[in-house]
Structures are given as C-alpha cells and as structure tokens.
C-alpha cells in the first residue's frame, strides 16, 4: 500500500495522550496521563433505568437513522441548559456531534485553507492539533497566566496581523478549567475576548466541556453568554458529565456555521449515534444529571485535595503547580531546563505516568511542564503516585532540553 496514501495522511500523527492510554489499561501503572473521568462517576444505575425504559417503550428512534443536526428533544434540552447560563441558545442553532472532538474537526473542515492562521493559548488542548492536522493551519500562540489567555497580547498581535492584512480564521479557547493548565479565564478577560472578536471580526471557538465540574468558587459566565454580535461558537460535551463512551457533544453557533458543519457532518457519518443521543436526553430530562453532578464534584474535589497535599509534601521546592477550582487537571512547572519528556521512561519504570507538557504547545514547546489528571486514579494511587513522582523529580539532575521540534504548521 506504500505510496498509495493521500499527501494529507502525512500530517496524521498519534497524540501523546492517546499513546499513554495503553498505560492506563495496565492495572500496575498509576496513570495521571489520560483525561479520563473516574469510573465511579458513571451513573450505572440511572443508565440501567434509561436503557430499560427505551426498550420497554419500544423507542425505535433510538435505533433508527436520524437527522444530521441531531435529535430535536436533545437539542431543545441543551438549548434550555445553555439559556440558563445566559447564552441566547435555540434548538435550531444546535448541532449534536460525536463528542466535542468531532465539532473541532468539522470546524477545521469548514473554515481552514492550508496556511490559515489559528490562534491558540500556550499551552492549549492538544486535541485541537489532531483535529486540524490535515487542514494544516499555521498556529499563532498567545501566552496565558492564572487569568487565562493574555488578551492584551492578543490585541497587540491581532493589530499587528491586521497591519499586514492578515486575519486569523478563528481563536480557540478553553476558558473554564483549561486543559491542560487547570485555570479559568477571568470575567475581565472574557469581556476583552468578545470585544476583540467583534472588533477584528474573528470567530472565537469556546470549548467548554468542564464547566459543570466546578467544586469551588463562583460560576463564570460562558464567553458565548457575553457575545452580543454572534462571533462565538460554543462547544459542549457529555463526556465528562455522563460518560465519554457515548460520544455525545454539541455545538451552538451562528446559523451559517451550524448549517455548514451539518453538511460536512453528513459526509463524515450522517448523524450522531441515535441511542447515545436518546440516553443523553433522558439523563437530562429525568433530572439525573442534576442529581449526579454534586456527587461527581465532591469526588473530584477530594481527589484534587489529596493530590495537592501530596504534592506539597513530596514535590521539590523548585516546582510550581496550578490549583484548579474544578475540572480534571493540574499543570506542573518544574525547574527550568528539566525535560519532563526525558523523565517519563524513569517514571513509567517506577509505575507512574503523566503527560509531558511538550505536546500542548504550538511551535517550540516549553519542556519543563507536566499535566496531571486527578479524576481517574483512586485516592491511594494518587498518594503513592505523587510520592513516586516527587522522588523521580528530586533525583533528576538538570537535563538538557532536546533540540527544538519543528513548528506544528
């Protein structure tokens, strides 16, 4: 088959995280790697009730071909939930997708020509790179701090690009409980972001799969809720609040965006898994989601607390980390020059894995970061795994950073 593949397949590579999933399946390894929800978060009893209902009612729609845009009842339920958060949503402008990941791929398909500019935070969710790989955009990275993406830098850069008659195709952000950084964008920056989108006429993709997992602090309005002019495309997902196995996500956006995405989706898979959509709809409308969320939040808060306390105890003094108020990740910065990718085989030999920060950067990566997931491992494993990782970090002498990797364009 060699030599027969399309040129675009050259740009398809496995993400660091998917590679790590093989460790997550090995029960002897403690995995802080993948972004997996806790198996204890899956509402198995509720699911049994829903499955039985669907079978008893002979709900053939759950098994039949369905509309590309998605089940109307589910879209209505989603629009109602989004309206409760201040987004002026309606079912006609919602598209149900196979996870938020498919929405990202479809957005690449409808927006990008090769070489188009996509703005991302540094670091960013690395699934955006896999989603857009075959469309070959050029990434423009904007640094972030504990208040999210630096909107003043973004403004300067948008202005400079405009002087060269360049305009990014979109700005991609994860404002709430950022993956991988664990931080939440402040209200001030959210407002600045929607203003910039309107001024420079650049769409913002707000990827928001974690907001329901807040276990501390006050909720923040979604960026789409602050948007008056229709520049924000909002993505949601059931992966972290029900189960990722159903692959149910959604997009709310301007009608022309939703229409183009629907057309692109028809070619990809006709429509999203009908059974999963029915399950998700019942899970919301029967009040099960609302009943289950407090339990999941409590579970994740406890795991985060255990991880933070273990890090205080075991990590060397020259490392820092974020303290997320929700979501599933925290972001560690080790001493400058320490290459966390180089450290991974040693950690894995001792029975612990994490995701090295490298893959979350567009272009030249900062090498001294790691993303730690606290939702998946159990509490004794968090304690043991962090102690081991602390030893590995403390033992490691300064290691040379690897040669710069080529820009991901």
Binding residues vs ligand PLP (CB under 6 A) = 35, 99-101, 125, 127, 174, 179, 207, 209, 237, 239, 244, 249
> Smallest gap, in angstroms, from Cβ of residue 135 to ligand PLP?
17
Asked if the peptide bond before residue 123 counts as cis, ω within 30 degrees of 0, the response is yes
Helix (H) / strand (E) element for 265: namely: helix 255-269
Nearest to 213 by CA among 292, 107, 309: 292
> Smallest gap, in angstroms, from Cβ of residue 290 to ligand PLP?
20
96/310 with CB nearer ligand PLP:
96
> Smallest gap, in angstroms, from Cβ of residue 131 to ligand PLP?
9
- Determine how many CB atoms are found less than 10 A away from the CB of residue 402: 12
Buried b (16+ CB within 10 A) or exposed e, 188-212: ebbebbbbbbbebebbbbbbbbbbb
> Smallest gap, in angstroms, from Cβ of residue 35 to ligand PLP?
4
252/315 with CB nearer ligand PLP:
252
> Smallest gap, in angstroms, from Cβ of residue 149 to ligand PLP?
14
Instruction: Assess contact for 373 and 36: CB atoms under 8 A.
Output: yes
18/22 with CB nearer ligand PLP:
18
> Smallest gap, in angstroms, from Cβ of residue 41 to ligand PLP?
14
137/390 with CB nearer ligand PLP:
137
Instruction: Assess contact for 196 and 202: CB atoms under 8 A.
Output: yes
Residues written for the chain: 409
169/371 with CB nearer ligand PLP:
371
Return the CA Rg of the chain: 21
Instruction: Assess contact for 359 and 33: CB atoms under 8 A.
Output: no
Nearest to 174 by CA among 143, 149, 142: 149
Q: Which residues contact 341 (CB under 8 A, 6 or more apart)?
A: 356, 358, 367, 402
150/355 with CB nearer ligand PLP:
355
Q: Residue with CB nearest ligand PLP?
A: 99
> Smallest gap, in angstroms, from Cβ of residue 33 to ligand PLP?
12
What residues pair up with 381 in beta bridges, in sequence order?
A: none
69/319 with CB nearer ligand PLP:
69
Tokens representing residue 53 in the block: 């209902």
> Smallest gap, in angstroms, from Cβ of residue 100 to ligand PLP?
4
Phi-psi region of 11 (alpha: psi -120 to 50; beta: other; left: phi over 0): alpha
> Smallest gap, in angstroms, from Cβ of residue 303 to ligand PLP?
17
Identify the three-state secondary structure at position 243.
Answer: coil
> Smallest gap, in angstroms, from Cβ of residue 302 to ligand PLP?
21
Instruction: Assess contact for 171 and 121: CB atoms under 8 A.
Output: no
276/365 with CB nearer ligand PLP:
276
101/340 with CB nearer ligand PLP:
101
224/343 with CB nearer ligand PLP:
224
Tokens representing residue 166 in the block: 């360049």
- Determine how many CB atoms are found less than 10 A away from the CB of residue 18: 13
Buried b (16+ CB within 10 A) or exposed e, 344-363: beebbeebbbbbbbbbbbbb
């Amino acid at each position: 088959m060699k030599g027969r593949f399309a040129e675009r397949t050259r740009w398809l590579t496995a993400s660091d995280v998917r590679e790590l999933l093989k460790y997550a399946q090995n029960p002897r390894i403690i995995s802080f790697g993948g972004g997996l929800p806790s198996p204890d978060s899956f509402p198995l009893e509720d699911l049994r009730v829903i499955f039985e209902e669907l079978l008893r009612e002979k709900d053939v729609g759950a098994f039949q071909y369905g509309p590309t845009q998605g089940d109307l009842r589910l879209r209505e339920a989603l629009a109602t939930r989004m309206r409760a958060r201040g987004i002026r949503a309606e079912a006609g402008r919602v598209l149900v997708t196979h996870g938020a990941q498919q929405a990202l791929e479809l957005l690449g398909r409808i927006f990008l020509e090769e070489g188009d500019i996509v703005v991302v935070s540094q670091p960013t969710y690395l699934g955006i790179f896999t989603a857009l790989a075959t469309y070959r955009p050029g990434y423009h990275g904007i640094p972030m701090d504990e208040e999210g993406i630096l909107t003043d830098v973004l403004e300067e850069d948008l202005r400079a690009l405009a002087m060269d008659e360049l305009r990014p195709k979109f700005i991609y952000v994860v404002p709430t409980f950022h993956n991988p950084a664990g931080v939440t964008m402040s209200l001030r920056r959210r407002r600045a972001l929607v203003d910039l989108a309107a001024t420079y006429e650049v769409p913002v993709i707000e990827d928001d799969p974690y907001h329901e997992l807040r276990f501390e602090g006050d909720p923040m309005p979604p960026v789409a809720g602050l948007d008056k002019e229709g520049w924000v495309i909002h993505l949601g997902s059931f992966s972290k609040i029900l189960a990722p196995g159903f692959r149910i996500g959604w997009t709310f956006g301007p009608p022309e965006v939703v229409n183009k995405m629907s057309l692109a989706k028809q070619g990809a898979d006709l429509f999203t898994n009908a059974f999963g959509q029915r399950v998700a709809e019942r899970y919301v409308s029967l009040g099960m989601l609302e009943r289950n969320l407090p339990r999941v939040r409590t579970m994740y808060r406890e795991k985060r607390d255990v991880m933070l306390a273990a890090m205080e105890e075991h990590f060397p003094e020259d490392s820092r980390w974020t303290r997320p108020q929700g979501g599933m990740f925290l972001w560690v910065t080790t001493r400058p020059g320490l290459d966390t990718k180089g450290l991974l085989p040693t950690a894995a030999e001792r029975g612990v894995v994490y995701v090295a920060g490298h893959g979350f950067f567009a272009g030249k990566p900062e090498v001294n970061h790691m993303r730690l997931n606290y939702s998946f491992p159990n509490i004794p494993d968090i304690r043991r795994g962090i102690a081991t990782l602390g030893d590995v970090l403390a033992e490691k002498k300064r290691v040379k950073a690897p040669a710069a990797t080529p820009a991901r364009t």
